[in-house]
Amino acid sequence: MKNVASSVRNKIGVEETLKIQQRAVMIKRVIVIFFSTLIFSSCFFNDFECCDYVGTREISDGLYLEKYRTFCAGVFGEVIECYITDSLTFRQKVGSYDEHGHLRVELNGEIVEACRTERTYYGEENNYEFKKHDTIEFKTFPLSELRKGKLIEVCNQQKNAN
């Protein structure tokens, strides 16, 4: 009788031990999944919209290029929007670029030219060295048309579009 009772106790002890181990593994999995989801989701549900003034550059006498950072996502990148203005009568968006590009804006006679470029690199055989800027987009804005425009709000325009 003692042997039967001890074998029953050992069998119940082993089953309970297995259940406890399975619960511990399940709890560890739930904890890992919970924190992974929390960390991952915090990257995507942040408010990436911002409106930081970057700077102003004079293109010609009385004509300026204003830059604003309108998307701020840290390691995911940023977007700079550029506006041409005379600071009194008009402000027109001429383009935008991210951390891989550049926007060159120049006055050529009575036409404002905006050229968006992006960096290109040589391949692996050249150690990924910087190659050149490739033109991605080219726009022209006649000054006569710009002067007919109006002053637009930089950041409110971005938020109202959504």
Residue 89, pLDDT score: 87
| pLDDT tens, residue by residue, 50-59 | 888 999 999 9
Closest CA to 140 of 106, 91, 117: 106
Total domains, the chain = 2
Q: What is the pLDDT along the chain (162 residues), one digit of tens a residue?
A: 555 545 555 566 777 878 888 888 899 999 988 887 767 665 555 566 788 899 999 999 899 999 998 888 766 778 899 999 998 889 999 999 988 888 999 999 999 999 998 877 666 665 656 667 788 899 999 988 888 887 777 775 444 443
End-to-end CA distance of the chain: 79
Same domain as 102, residue 77: yes
Residue 59, pLDDT score: 92
Cα(82)–Cα(67) distance, integer angstroms: 5
Question: In angstroms, what CA-CA distances link 21 with 10, 16, 52?
Answer: 16, 9, 53
Q: Which helix (H) or strand (E) holds 13?
A: helix 2-44
Cα(162)–Cα(148) distance, integer angstroms: 27
Same domain as 53, residue 41: no
Residue 3 DSSP code: H
Q: Residue 57 contacts by C-beta under 8 Å, 6 or more apart in sequence?
A: 64, 65, 67
Find out whether 141 and 92 touch, Cβ atoms under 8 Å: yes
Does this model's pTM top 0.75? My answer is no
Same domain as 78, residue 11: no
78 SS3 class:
strand
Residue 129, pLDDT score: 63
Domain that holds residue 109: 49-160
Same domain as 58, residue 39: no
